[in-house]
Structure 1
Amino acid sequence: MKKKIYLLYIQRFLPKFFFTKICGYLSKKKLNIITTFLIFIFIKIYKINMKETKYPNIFYYKTFHKFFIRKLNMSNRPIDNNKNHIIHNSDGIINGIGNIKKNKIFQFKGCKFSLYNLIGQDYNLNNIFDNGKFINVYLSPKNYHRIHMSYTGILLKIVYIPGTLFPVNNIISHNLCNLFTLNERVVFLFKTQFGLMIKILIGAQIVGSIYSSWYGPIIPPRKNKIIIWNWPYINNFYKKDSVFLKKGEEIGYFSIGSTVITLFPPKIIKFNPILKIGKTVKVGELLASF
């Protein structure tokens, strides 16, 4: 317990943005044999299966950053193509799953955080998703860091919400209340066959940026205000620049590991009954049905 308290105390006063900026800079430097050695050590420590990757030879990666955002051989992640199934968007560990009750999302015993604050204080979306369902998946440093589409849909909106950069590992997420409304994050709103769906990519310490596949880096640059991009979609007709993604297509990636929270409106989906906190999940597996 004391160890957890000390860690939280240190994190509150650590210059998180500066530390993240330095780590991001170093990760993108070509350090030749040093880079290769660091990647080799990282693979050994975290027991990463390189046979799953698109480029298993570690000499392919000229920077540590390129290794972090490595692509998978997607034949190792078969997509559940049942038209009534929604899939997991990432590899990771379930940190939370359940119902949104009276605008509150469960984080850990004794702590619930606000849906309204999580999504950027949008009253309309809050009313749509209140009493719906949520799932929180943590991507550790060893995981594949790219995020995929859970179901075919079209992008309606992106919202950047400023905040701090606490780590999102188990110790912090199970002890620091409101962690996910304190950290900076990006909210993606999609329209699908079953209704609206929200994907929230949570920033964290050392996560230098969040990238989307069609827009590029959303953060940085960091600005101390909420920024909203409304995507072209009017009266059910797609415009030229609209973003339409099929189930399993890539949404974007974290520079390192972090957390993805997915939200569903009430009375629409049923979670796969085998899912629970602590369970390891992979891209393409069954998340829910409708």
Structure 2
Amino acid sequence: MSLVTRLTYALPHRFLSSLARSLAYSKHPRVSQWLIDTVTRKFGVDLQEAAISNPRSYESFNAFFTRALRPGAREAHRDDNAILMPADGRISQCGPIRNGEIFQAKGRSFTAAELLASEDDAKPFADGVFATVYLSPRDYHRVHMPWTGTLTRTVHVPGRLFSVGPAAVRLVPRLFARNERLVCHFDTDFGPMCVVMVGALLVSGVETVWSGVEIPQYGHIVTEKRYDGAGITLERFAEMARFNYGSTVIVLLPAGVATLDPSLHAESPVRLGERLATLHR
């Protein structure tokens, strides 16, 4: 295990993330522009795709990082049976959920029940498929709907805030089932669908289009919000949530409803709106 990864076990995750959040929301021009310029240069951010391409036009680093794209920069796949990629980034892993187990990396796995914090919620996905998408600091940080769905509830699961970079994914057991996360449950015309927003070190802010800021406040117990009867239906490709920095989104689909696109594999670069899977009709 690398020294950096070892250190992350001992670091005060939430304290560091709170400090990072204060910097990210600072409207002091020198602070925000230094952060924007540093990240743009280091990670090669393409601002030509952004609705606002001038880096001096963002009032804070967070405004820059959660920037909108210009119209037409991303489009939904033309195949009406295509379940869509929810975000820009890279595939961390994807594939079948075997007996409730989700593959993480190099012999490591975690269960759907651990990820969702519920044995009952995991049952429909026991032999389904999953895709884990890692958003790097250079990527567009809004998450969109893979398929049209009606929100039924969210579950805020407290946890650590390990890095979700490739090294940590290889080395930290059950990483995605240990980090703080927001599980979003949807009903669709093919059954249940889960989209899980996983926080990370310095990346602990999650916002949704229906409720605003969800994380922080950091939690100490699993907290459920029910939306039965609220009529919150989001169309395929519509924005659903955003991260305040890079992190990971995991999509779970139930057994027998879809086949993952065969071109996808670990480290595949992906873009919002591409085909994630094909729905069985």
Q: TM-score range by the shorter chain?
A: over 0.9
1:28 matched to which residue of 2? 25
1:245 to 1:81, Cα distance in 2 relative to 1, 3 A? farther
Give the match for residue 177 of structure 1. Answer: 173
Deviation at 1:164, TM superposition (A): 0.7
Alpha-carbon separation, structure 2, partners of 1:22 and 1:89: 29
Q: SS of the residue aligned with 2:14?
A: helix
1:44 aligns with 2:33: no
- For 1:274, which of 257, 260, 263 is the aligned residue? 263
Post-superposition Cα deviations, 1:64-105, rounded to whole Å, max 9, x if no partner, equal 111111111140101124321111010010001111111211
What is the Cα deviation at residue 33 of structure 1? 3.8
Return the offset for 1:29.
Answer: 0.9
Partner of 2:124: 128
- TM-score (normalised: structure 1): 0.93
Q: Distance in 2 between matches of 1:18 and 1:178?
A: 22
Task: State the TM-score, normalized to the length of structure 2.
Answer: 0.96
Distance 1:34 1:159 in 2: 34
Deviations 1:236-269 (A, max 9, x none): xxxxx32110111110100101000100111110
Q: 1:212 aligns with which of 208, 211, 214?
A: 208
Using the TM superposition, name which of 65-74 and 259-268 deviates more: 65-74
- Distance change >3 Å, CA 9–CA 33, structure 1 → 2: closer
4+ aligned runs moved over 3 Å, structure 1: none
Would you say 1:242 and 2:242 are equivalent positions?
A: no
Please state how far the C-alpha of 1:34 moved relative to its aligned partner: 4.1
Does the 8 A contact of 2:39 with 2:137 survive in 1? no
Which residue among 193, 199, 213 is the counterpart of 2:195? Answer: 199
Q: What is the rounded CA distance, in whole Å, between the counterparts of 1:58 and 1:91 in structure 2?
A: 20
Q: Is the CA contact 2:102–2:112 (under 8 Å) kept in the aligned structure 1?
A: yes
What is the Cα-based RMSD across aligned positions, in Å?
Answer: 1.2
Shift of 1:199: 0.4
Alignment of 1:254 onto 2:251: no
Aligned amino acid, residue 164 of structure 1? R
Structure 1 residue aligned with 2:104: 107
| Equivalent of residue 86 in structure 2, options 67, 70, 89 | 89
- Report the Cα distance in structure 2 between the residues aligned to 1:151 and 1:131, rounded to whole angstroms: 19
Aligned to 2:7: 10
Instruction: State the alpha-carbon separation in 1 of the partners of residues 71 and 141 from structure 2.
Output: 13
The whole-number CA distance in structure 2 between the counterparts of 1:193 and 1:287 is 17
Unpaired stretches in structure 1, ≥5 consecutive residues: 234-240
Q: Secondary structure at the match of 2:277?
A: strand
Superposition map of 1:135-150 within 5 A: 135-150=131-146
Of 54, 59, 64, 2:61 maps to 64
- Structure-2 separation of matches of 1:81 and 1:230: 33
> Which letter does structure 1 place at the counterpart of 2:268?
K
Structure 2 CA distance for partners of 1:176 and 1:36, relative to 1, 3 Å: same
Matches of 2:188 and 2:48, distance apart in 1: 34
Distance in 2 separating the partners of 1:41 and 1:103: 41
Number of residues paired by the alignment? 279
Aligned match for 2:147, one of 148, 151, 156: 151
Give the aligned partner of residue 254 of structure 2: 265
